[in-house]
Structure 1
Amino acid sequence: MVKLYGFPGSTCTRLVALVCKEKNIPYELTQVNLMKGEQKAPSFTAIQPFGQVPYIDDDGFILYESRAIARYIIKKHPNQGTPLIPSDPKAEALFEQAASIETFNFNAFVAPIVAEKVFKPRRGLQPDEARVSELLATLQSKMDAYEVILSKQKYLAGDSVTLADLSHLPYGTAFYGLGGVFAEVFDSRPNLARWWKDISNRPAWLAVKDGA
């Protein structure tokens, strides 16, 4: 069983849990309390030097960084559960293209918006609304490109769901949950809205959406 060290509500911890669910891989969560700063304790940074969650212990193999963990789990169990990363070279290249799209055209804007609108208020801080507006304006143009891609195919890498699609879920759900103009980013574009409804209702995500 994979031992997952993280915080149940953490976006990155839930991504790893999501992949485990999609691949039918059981995992045991050891909670690291971010509110108490346990991720900065010497015993934790001795394993994860950046003091961030999550990391896994897979029968003695230690790995951190959620994207790397997700790829490792998928490639270790290629014939179990949902494939998520294709094996054909061209299909895998399209997956890597889609993964890059998520990193640089979605996460780069959505994550800081969530940090401003969700995480800052939890710490009693005021969001920088000017920064949010600037990020949102740029994101709108990025989502226009998503709409074009998704008008031609079901998912970002083709007609099969991949890790590239699922990687949008943790931050995307927090972003969409802000409602108003934020939800409209998805809802106002029919193909993007169809895709988002599809991936955000996957049973594996619903199982970990509220906590790994």
Structure 2
Amino acid sequence: MPNMDLYNMPMAPASRAIQMIAKALGLELNSKFINTMEGDQLKPEFVKINPQHTIPTLVDNGFAIWESRAIAVYLVEKYGKTDSPLYPKDPQKRALINQRLYFDMGTLYDALAKYFFPIFRTGQLGDQEALDKVNSAFGFLNTFLEGQDFVAGSELTVADIVILATVSTVTMFSFDLQKFPNVDRWYKNAPKVTPGWEENLQTLEQAKKAKSVYFSVYPTASHGISTMVTLDLYNMPGSPNTRAVQMTAKAVGVELNSIFVNTLEGDELKPEFVKINPQHTIPTLVDNGFAVWETRAIVTYLVEKYGKPDSPLFPNDPQKRATINQRLYFDMGTLYESLAKYFFPYFRTGQVGDQESLDKVNAALGDLNTFLEGQDFVAGSQLTVADIVILSTISTSEIVPLDLAKFPNVVRWYKNAPKVTPGWEENLASLKQAKKFLEEKLAEKK
């Protein structure tokens, strides 16, 4: 039996998710306590393991990976049974699981953290707007569970375990799950089907007794053959997420039928679109009736479904995949988020964000610079979907200037993009169109 080190805060949802995954796989984890309240995550010995200094971080015989959802998938791919139902090989099943994992990170967990976690700093829950976002997120989850027992298909998957770890956190507070009957039914079924559930609840009980210790934990924590097929991509042209999907499609040789969804006019809320994607987000891909959303879930789906066998864009090797997944989650939760908060006000007001927002951008770029130390790509020795997605994010600086000179590895990598990235010229052309569109809109406001 392998013996792996898990650097973690045991009461955190992310740590509990990994513990349950390990239980499901029959793995033993050597838990190493990282006290983020005392700054353990900033000590040189830990930063050497994880330059982003986030927890949980798994070290498996010298291989280090962080971001709980990337860890969860890695453990199943590395140590699970062949074609484990926890994360099966079928590209469509995987795409749904990936979408739910990104939903957990970007929507559900984010909403819970912003509403519930302030109580540990201020003694007060978040405001009504934050509560509305919690209810909205649970509403989406309730929709996902309509007519089924699990969040991503007909069997328990890593998506259930990760989201159960998140949802079980609300048992520390007064929150009525019965308002969401499908979620309530799914949650009540958890003890019957989820390995490690009792341990999860025991840890939560400990957390209730020591709330002040917890929740400072999460720093802002068979292949198809390429063929020309046509898939519908509901999108806003020019957005980073759309451009990432378009470049990935170019790389695997599929043609996208672009369907414009004008979010400025509320197209994403129209019943015909909500029927396709109840979370009403873009881009959304529809492949012969199969709908998947969340950019990073879409790009991995495209490679698994239409890429060459063991494509270097998203190879079969569990360690390589885990690193790619970590970088994708880093893009969503750290890099893209910081750039959005700094850049995107410009598109409404003509002004970028404040110094605090810029500091977060620079911190994220510092992490990216570290990832690129001594290598040409963000997740290994070859171009992967992680490069494509993050290049799409960074290239937004072609619209609003950003000084990358302080990050030499990022500059080197970005300058190499035209030589190695399929669809790069189209990416730049789309950026030019977006810049012109935004300049016209801002001029109209003056």
Pairwise TM-score range, normalised by the shorter structure: 0.7 to 0.9
Equivalent-residue separation in structure 2 for 1:60 and 1:93 (angstroms): 29
Tell me which residue corresponds to 1:153: 148
Q: TM-score, normalised by structure 2?
A: 0.42
C-alpha distance after superposition, 1:4-28 (max 9, x if no partner): 1222223322222121111111111
1:126 aligns to 2:118 (yes or no): no
The Cα of 1:38 is off from its aligned counterpart by 1.5
Tell me which residue corresponds to 1:191: 182
Q: Is the 8 A contact 2:151 2:160 kept in 1?
A: yes
Tell me which residue corresponds to 2:87: 85
Q: TM-score, normalised by structure 1?
A: 0.83
- Are residues 149 and 15 of structure 1, via their aligned partners in 2, closer, same or farther at CA, if it must alter by over 3 Å? closer
Tell me which residue corresponds to 2:118: 116
Bigger relative contact order (CA 8 A; separation at least 6): 1
Which amino acid letter does the alignment assign opposite residue 163 of structure 1? Answer: V
- Are residues 52 and 152 of structure 1, via their aligned partners in 2, closer, same or farther at CA, if it must alter by over 3 Å? same
- Are residues 28 and 51 of structure 1, via their aligned partners in 2, closer, same or farther at CA, if it must alter by over 3 Å? same
Listed as ranges, the gaps of 5+ residues in structure 1 are none
1:138 aligns to 2:130 (yes or no): no
- Are residues 41 and 34 of structure 1, via their aligned partners in 2, closer, same or farther at CA, if it must alter by over 3 Å? same
- Are residues 27 and 128 of structure 1, via their aligned partners in 2, closer, same or farther at CA, if it must alter by over 3 Å? closer
The Cα of 1:44 is off from its aligned counterpart by 1.3
C-alpha distance after superposition, 1:16-50 (max 9, x if no partner): 21211111111111222333221221221121223
Q: Which stretch shows the higher mean deviation, 195-204 or 44-53?
A: 195-204
Cα RMSD after superposing both structures:
2.4
Tell me which residue corresponds to 2:55: 53
Listed as ranges, the gaps of 5+ residues in structure 2 are 205-446
- Are residues 151 and 110 of structure 1, via their aligned partners in 2, closer, same or farther at CA, if it must alter by over 3 Å? same
The Cα of 1:58 is off from its aligned counterpart by 0.8
Tell me which residue corresponds to 1:177: 172
Equivalent-residue separation in structure 2 for 1:21 and 1:48 (angstroms): 24
The Cα of 1:203 is off from its aligned counterpart by 4.0
The Cα of 1:109 is off from its aligned counterpart by 0.5
- Are residues 154 and 169 of structure 1, via their aligned partners in 2, closer, same or farther at CA, if it must alter by over 3 Å? closer
Equivalent-residue separation in structure 2 for 1:20 and 1:109 (angstroms): 26
Tell me which residue corresponds to 1:207: 199
- Are residues 175 and 25 of structure 1, via their aligned partners in 2, closer, same or farther at CA, if it must alter by over 3 Å? same
1:107 aligns to 2:109 (yes or no): yes
Q: Is the 8 A contact 1:114 1:171 kept in 2?
A: no
Q: Which has the larger radius of gyration?
A: 2
The Cα of 1:60 is off from its aligned counterpart by 1.5
The Cα of 1:157 is off from its aligned counterpart by 0.9
Which amino acid letter does the alignment assign opposite residue 71 of structure 2? Answer: I
- Are residues 42 and 138 of structure 1, via their aligned partners in 2, closer, same or farther at CA, if it must alter by over 3 Å? same
Equivalent-residue separation in structure 1 for 2:79 and 2:72 (angstroms): 11
1:24 aligns to 2:26 (yes or no): yes
- Are residues 33 and 97 of structure 1, via their aligned partners in 2, closer, same or farther at CA, if it must alter by over 3 Å? closer
Provide the secondary structure at the position in 2 that maps to 1:46.
helix
Equivalent-residue separation in structure 2 for 1:9 and 1:145 (angstroms): 26
Identity %: 27
Which amino acid letter does the alignment assign opposite residue 32 of structure 2? Answer: T
